[in-house]
Every structure is written in C-alpha cells, then in structure tokens.
Structure 1
Amino acid sequence: MPKLSTDTLWELAAAEVHTRENGTREEDGGEPVSERTVFLMGSKAGGKTSILLRCLERDEPSKPTLALEYTFGRRARGHNTPKDIAHIWELGGGTSLSDLVQIPISTNNIRTLSVILILDLSKPNALWSTAERLLLEAQTQVQKAFSQVERVRKVQGGGKQQASVQPAARVLPKDYPDRELINPFPIPLLIIGSKYDLFQESDSEKRKVFTSIKSETLMSKTKTFFSHLAFGQERGKVVSCDTSKPLIIPAGSDSLSQIGSPPSSDVDITSLHARNPLDLWKKVYEHVFPPESTSARLELKDPAKDSQYIEPQIDAMRAQKDQELEQYKRDAAKSWKGLELES
C-alpha cells in the first residue's frame, strides 16, 4: 500500500495493521515485500546468539542475551529487488524467563511466525526438560493468539463464513502414518542441537543428534533452514538419518516406524509403561541421561542476580542504592513508631 504524504496518523496505523496481518508490504516501487517473524529460544548459554549472528552474516562478537532481545535482518531476493524483512526475537535465560514468550508470540505476527528451538547437546541431562518446558510455553501462547484472532475474525465477519486462521501447512495429510500418534506444533518449528563439536567427543552410544558453528558444513545447513523461515527462501532437500553423523531431518521426512524403538541394552523397554512412542523415548532418554535435580534446575528469575550478566560498575551502584533503600525503610519505620507513641 503506497504511503502518501497526506496520510493521517489513523491511515498510517491502518496500513501497519494491514501489513502485519498479511505479512507483506510495498516499497516505493509497489512490489510486495515479505515481513516474517522468527523467535529463538532454547538452552541457557546454548549458542543462540552465535548461531543467529552467523545466519545474519554479522561479523561481531556475541554477548549474553539479557532477558528478551530484538533485532532484524534484511535480504534481497535478487538484483535490484526489494529487501524482505525478518523481525527476530531472542529469549535468554533458558527456561527461567519462559513467561516472556507472550511478547514475541502475539496476534500481530501469528500468521508469519516461526520458532527456532536451540538445545545445548553438551548438556544432555538438561536437554529434554528444557525442550519440553519451552515448547509447552510457546505452544500455549500460540494457541492463545490463534484463539484471539479467531474471535476477532468471527466478530468482524458478522456471522459470514470465512476461512480459518489456522495455517494450512500445519495440517497433516490424511495418509500420514503417524497422524493419530503425534500433535504437530501449530506453526513452523526448527529444532537445532548446538555445540555438536563438544557432543561428538562423548560416548558413541550417546551420540544420536545436530549443529556447531565450528563446522562450516553444519553452519551452512543451518543458514539454509534459517533463511527458509526468515526470508522464505528454498529449504533445501538435504536429509541425513545416519546416527553416526549429524542428523538433518526436515519436517515430514521421517516417521515413527522409520525411527524405531529406542536403542537401549541396559533397560527393559516393556517395563517402562509408556503411553506413546514419544513417552517411551523420553523414559529411555532420561534413563541414559538422568535429569538434573530440582535444586540444580532452579534458575534465577532476576537477571540482575545472574553471574553471566555481571557489570562491576553498575552492580556497585545497584548495591549502594539497595543499601540506601534499606536505610530509608529503617528510618521510615522509626518515624512511624514515634508517631504511634505520640498519639
């Protein structure tokens, strides 16, 4: 929608809403420009920022993510063509700040949103619980956003039949072999196993999973998947199911029958009483990699108390202000006691 100099504030706001709902806008030449949103979350200090910088081809040192951070990327489709835009959110702190997913996952971008979950393969004992917690939080917020959009659609439709806002790409084909056994994530989801260079040094029987920024081949594959989600480029057709190598499994390219039963020689699978194949894999996985204790998994809610965000000058000033606040509270308490005695 071309913007004229005579547009009022309300007209500009309406154009912005149109842009967000349709995921495209038009530059001065009138050619549509795609706008997508990508939300990165995952293991604490799992390499999310490093992977993102490589995908965006930014040559700068990575810094610890403080809570929730935003950036964007632009990429042209070809010579002399408009640049598509990717709005990128990154959640720090592992699972400790998972309630912040409600900010990047909203009704404004739900139609063009993708999620990237990055899991630290060098810390397998925390991997499954991290994935489970973050995916549950994200899926709950996604469903909430879809429900809100659906309610607005019905109100605006005035009772008329309109197409559902649920993405058609998320609907499984009727002949998909695992249709009744799985609950697919409602929006595009990419799961990356980071620090593969550290993981591959572990016991060969425990190596079954994906990327390292130190491997240019793996990083190239990661960039391809990222560009597909962020800029709509071709996903590529590479598939690798060899567990002796990094796995590359595009959505829909495998099935539970192909995956088979969990490889475990020191546990009786029939005694695990699993409800479904995923539950069986979880029980065997946790047998090989016992989950961390509750106390070990306890993470700080306040980033200011997290050791990875240490800033000596700021922390010293904060400590001074905290002392001044405590002193003020004590003085105020004495004043109130004096007033009570006088009365």
Structure 2
Amino acid sequence: MLSIPEIASQLIEKAQNEDNDNSSRTIFIVGSKSVGKSTLLYSFLEKNDPPRETLVVEYSFGRKSKQKQGIDKILCHIWEYGGKLETLNNILLSTPIRGKYYFCVMVDLCKIKCIWETLETCIGAMNDIYSTSENQPELIIIGGKYDIFKNYDSEIKKLICTTLRSLALLYNAHMIFYSSKEPQLLRRAKDMLHNIGFGNSVPVKEKNTSYTKPLFIPKGSDTWESIGVSPSTLEQVKIRHNTRIPPAPVTSEANSSTLAQLHVHPEPNLDSLLSLKYAELRNMESLDIPVDYLLAISK
C-alpha cells in the first residue's frame, strides 16, 4: 500500500517532472504537538481557512513567478508532519525532494522538559536519512510560543537559549523564535519562509542573540564565545541541558490513548457493572489478563 507522501507525489508528478533544481524548493516541517506549525504554514500560504490538526502528514505547495509578469515560476513543495516522532524516519524515506531542501524543526518553548527530546529525535532522524544522501537539507530550528516563553524566569530563558544556540552552531542551522500572537514575529517567520521557498536562503539582515529578546540567528553567524560557553560536543550540550532541566518521564502513549477512548462516552450503569465484573476477576485463582491493565481501565 502506498504511503500518503507517495500518493501525493504521484498526483503532482507531472508538474514536478517539468521542474528543475533552480525552479523548485522543498520545505519539511516537524516538531512539537500543537506548537503552531499549521498556523505558520497557513499564514505563509495566505490560507483563510482555520488550521486543522495534522494527524500524520500534509502536503501543500506555493507558486511564484521568478520575475514580474514572468512565465517561469518557482514551485515550493511543503510537507508538514504531525504524527509520532518515533516514526519520522519512515516518513522521510518516502518524501520526494525537489530542488533546495529545508528541514524545519519547531519546538514548544513552553514545554521545557520536552525540548531536548524533540530536537534530538527530529535532528537524529534527519541525519539518519540524509547523512549520505545528495539531498542534504538546510536545518532551521524554530522556537514556538515565544509570547508565553518571554515571561519565564530569566535563568530558564538563558539556559534554553544557550542549548538552542549550541545545537544550531553544531548543526550549522538557522535559529528563529516565533509566535502567531505577536505581529512582528509572525511577519519575520513568514518572510523567512518566503525567502527559503522562493528566494535563496534565510535573510541575514536581522540578527539577535540576546536571550532577553526573541532569537534570530542565521547560520554561520554565531560563535561559542558569543554564546558564553566553551566549544562543546553534542553529548556535552545534552548533559549541560538535562542536568538543569531533566526530561519529562516517558509515558505509555498507547495506554493513555486507550483509556481516553474508553471514557469518551461514560455510562454510569455500565461502569458500575464493569466494576463488579472486575472485582470478580480479581478474586479468581487464575487469570491470564494482567491485573494492572484491569486496574487501569476500571479507574
């Protein structure tokens, strides 16, 4: 069975075959759940519909004339992944790439305990798939929900910014903070997408490295000295970050999903009968079903 990216690829194959590397761009965006990936893309593509949740992967595109009143157009292919990050490798393997390629990782700056895991998983998948590929992507790290993050404790903001800048420096990535609720940051993020989608790269005319303001650091413009730490390896950056901000405990997403579904439509009478049945099962001398499971779903 064909995957969603493969089906979408076939639907646009005719148009893509007419393109060359100079007239095509590919943007792949992935990251934290509900961080605003769709909102940013809808704004960039000037869609008026309210953004909907991306369950797996969505494809969209934009066209722009190379010159005013020109016939030749630049086609920007945009892939947004909203599924489990653990399966990102499989999605990347089946995603067609046309022209210059940009890999955008958006992290939720408000979920500080999940920032490292999100970055490590997404960037790790990118390296696994493209380390030996001709389609080497240009990495862009986007910090979302800055409107909330800016009110956090000063030391926390400094630590998060140090971690993000260190990763951007290690991976030669662009770094930008974003919020859909702040017009200036929304405009700047849209300008960035417009430049990578239809131009040459991220503009370098703006720059900010201070953690007291929203970061905007084009690749190649930062240094360890400016960050304020000694040159570090990825493992050293990870230890420095996780020592101060331990990662969130791993939860069973499958069990949480199952329990949520069980209680979508509660029925008091049925719940009461189920409780009695579970009580009988607990008192049985032999039981193949794990008791822990029964205890979980009866709560």
Kindly report which structure 2 residues correspond to 1:12-161, keeping only aligned pairs within 5 A, or say none: 17=17, 19=19, 22-24=20-22, 34-82=23-71, 83-98=73-88, 99-104=90-95, 106=96, 109=97, 111-144=99-132, 146=133
Q: Select which of 195, 198, 201 maps to 1:228.
A: 195
Q: Select which of 238, 241, 244 maps to 2:206.
A: 238
Render the CA deviation track for 1:62-82: whole Å, top value 9, x for unaligned: 111021111111223443124
* Structure 2 residue 281 is matched with structure 1 residue 293: no
Does the Cα contact within 8 Å between 1:53 and 1:59 map onto a contact in 2? yes
Residue in 2 that maps onto 1:247: 215
The 1:289–1:37 alpha-carbon spacing in structure 2 relative to 1, beyond 3 Å, is: same
CA distance in 2, matches of 1:224, 1:235: 9
The 1:85–1:290 alpha-carbon spacing in structure 2 relative to 1, beyond 3 Å, is: same
Residue in 2 that maps onto 1:216: 183
CA RMSD across the alignment: 3.1
Question: How far apart are residue 279 of structure 1 and its match?
Answer: 2.8
Question: How far apart are residue 286 of structure 1 and its match?
Answer: 1.4
3-state SS of 1:283 partner: helix
Does the Cα contact within 8 Å between 2:24 and 2:99 map onto a contact in 1? no
Unaligned ranges ≥5, structure 2 = 1-12, 162-176, 266-299
3-state SS of 1:124 partner: coil
Does the Cα contact within 8 Å between 2:209 and 2:216 map onto a contact in 1? yes
Question: How far apart are residue 278 of structure 1 and its match?
Answer: 3.6
- Aligned-partner residue type, residue 126 of structure 1: C
* Structure 2 residue 214 is matched with structure 1 residue 258: no
Render the CA deviation track for 1:283-323: whole Å, top value 9, x for unaligned: 2221222101122xx4459xx97979xx99xxxxxxxxxxx
Does the Cα contact within 8 Å between 2:86 and 2:121 map onto a contact in 1? no
Does the Cα contact within 8 Å between 1:96 and 1:299 map onto a contact in 2? no
Residue in 2 that maps onto 1:334: none
Does the Cα contact within 8 Å between 1:77 and 1:84 map onto a contact in 2? yes
- Aligned-partner residue type, residue 240 of structure 2: V
| Structure with the greater alpha carbon radius of gyration | 1
CA distance in 2, matches of 1:239, 1:77: 27
Residue in 2 that maps onto 1:316: none
TM-score relative to the length of structure 1: 0.60
Aligned-residue identity in percent? 31
How many positions carry a matched residue from both structures? 231
3-state SS of 2:113 partner: helix
The 1:188–1:306 alpha-carbon spacing in structure 2 relative to 1, beyond 3 Å, is: farther
The 1:191–1:282 alpha-carbon spacing in structure 2 relative to 1, beyond 3 Å, is: same
3-state SS of 2:221 partner: coil
* Structure 2 residue 151 is matched with structure 1 residue 201: yes
CA distance in 2, matches of 1:281, 1:255: 14
Question: How far apart are residue 188 of structure 1 and its match?
Answer: 1.0
Question: How far apart are residue 239 of structure 1 and its match?
Answer: 0.6
The 1:300–1:255 alpha-carbon spacing in structure 2 relative to 1, beyond 3 Å, is: farther
TM-score relative to the length of structure 2: 0.68
Unaligned ranges ≥5, structure 1 = 1-12, 25-33, 147-164, 167-185, 263-274, 313-343
3-state SS of 2:114 partner: helix
CA distance in 2, matches of 1:14, 1:51: 28
CA distance in 1, matches of 2:92, 2:100: 16
